[in-house]
Chain A
Amino acid sequence: MAGSAADPRNPEPRALQIPASVDHLAEVRSFVRDCVADFGGSKRVADDLVQAVDEATCNVMLHGYRGKPGDIAIEAAVRDRNIEIRIMDRATAFDPTAAQARDAARPPAPTRIGGMGLGIELLRGMTDEVHHSVRPDGGNELTLVHSMDRPTQED
């Protein structure tokens, strides 16, 4: 194993499994905040990842499972000073990295709650990288990557 609890440079990966219900979003945010703290990330890195993971997970709940029962598995790990958070579901294939960016020349208009708009903009804007793949046995795997060492973007 590459990591052990005794080695602060390679902390153990952590995992959470939740039902696909918006009532569990607070638990997801708490999990992400705890992971980033354990991994040695700053509050700013935690704020970014909490926002991004909330938006991504909410998208799976509302538009992947469409309110139907399902499970969402979340894994957090550190690789090369990057925090990687993987969100896995069994829902309809959907790639938020392919969604069109908002027209920045216009004032923002949330189209619908958790829809193809500001949530996706936030999950992309608060991370360094977002990768999507369709799982071989069905469902989505979305990986959000954020450096431990710097903010995602300058404000």
Chain B
Amino acid sequence: MAMTIDVAELGGNPPLACVALAGELDASNYEQVIDVVRKAYADGARRLVLDLEQLTFMASSGLFALHSAVRIMGGETPPDPEEGWSALHQMSMDEDAPASNLRLAAAQEPIARVLERTGMLRVFALDATRADAIATLQGA
């Protein structure tokens, strides 16, 4: 099953974008997510909701893409997947608090379990719905 990506620019100040993923996110297509987030940032977005409601599978490569999205939204150079970036990670993510400019929304149960099992919910906030995530970022 392929993955589709839908981007909505929602405006605001700073501008907010919502990227909705549908299908299966794996090692064959995770770079598409990074590219879309990079483009949203280039187009002005500084806050991002990743809507996972229609996503049925996410591999560890997907976790890498989500991690990249946080960095891109923070204005950092997106990591090169061919290189290790543990050192880069040390620079900005030592604080044990979820990112403030990116929220995940509506993860299905298997994906929520992957996020929880890998400790990713310490890096990302996860809201029950897309609307909740948008409202939280807009109120911030």
Residues of chain A having any CB pair with chain B under 8 Å = 22-23, 25-26, 29-30, 47, 50-51, 54-55, 58, 61-62, 102, 104, 107-115, 117-119, 121-122, 125-126, 155
Partner-binding segment picked from B20-28, B41-49, B130-138: B20-28
Residues in A with CB closer than 8 Å to B63 are 108, 110, 118
* Further contacts, 7 of them, CB under 8 A, given A110-B63, A125-B117: A30-B1, A55-B59, A102-B119, A107-B123, A108-B119, A113-B64, A118-B63
- Measured CB to CB, the nearest residue on chain A to B120 is A108
Residues of chain B having any CB pair with chain A under 8 Å = 1-2, 24, 26-28, 30, 57, 59-61, 63-64, 67, 81-86, 89, 93, 96, 109-110, 113-114, 116-120, 122-123
Is B96 a contact of A107 with CB atoms below 8 Å?
yes
Total contacts A-B at CB 8 Å: 97
Q: How far is the CB of A26 from chain B (nearest CB, A)?
A: 6
Residues in A with CB closer than 8 Å to B120 are 108
Residues in A with CB closer than 8 Å to B123 are 107-108
Is B122 a contact of A107 with CB atoms below 8 Å?
yes
Is B116 a contact of A117 with CB atoms below 8 Å?
no
Residues in B with CB closer than 8 Å to A122 are 60, 114, 117-118
Q: How far is the CB of A101 from chain B (nearest CB, A)?
A: 12
Residues in B with CB closer than 8 Å to A26 are 1-2, 24, 26, 28
- Docked CA distance A115–B61 (Å): 9
- Docked CA distance A105–B120 (Å): 12
Kindly identify which residue among A47, A109, A117 contacts B60, using a CB–CB cutoff of 8 Å.
A117
Residues in B with CB closer than 8 Å to A114 are 27, 60-61
Is B114 a contact of A110 with CB atoms below 8 Å?
no
Is A108 a contact of B118 with CB atoms below 8 Å?
yes
Find the residue from B60, B116, B122 having the highest chain A CB count within 10 A: B60
Is B83 a contact of A109 with CB atoms below 8 Å?
no
Is B60 a contact of A118 with CB atoms below 8 Å?
yes
Which 7 pairs across A and B sit closest by C-beta, in order of nearness? A119-B60, A109-B89, A118-B60, A22-B28, A47-B110, A110-B64, A22-B27
Q: How far is the CB of A5 from chain B (nearest CB, A)?
A: 28
Kindly identify which residue among A30, A113, A121 contacts B61, using a CB–CB cutoff of 8 Å.
A113
Q: How far is the CB of B68 from chain A (nearest CB, A)?
A: 9
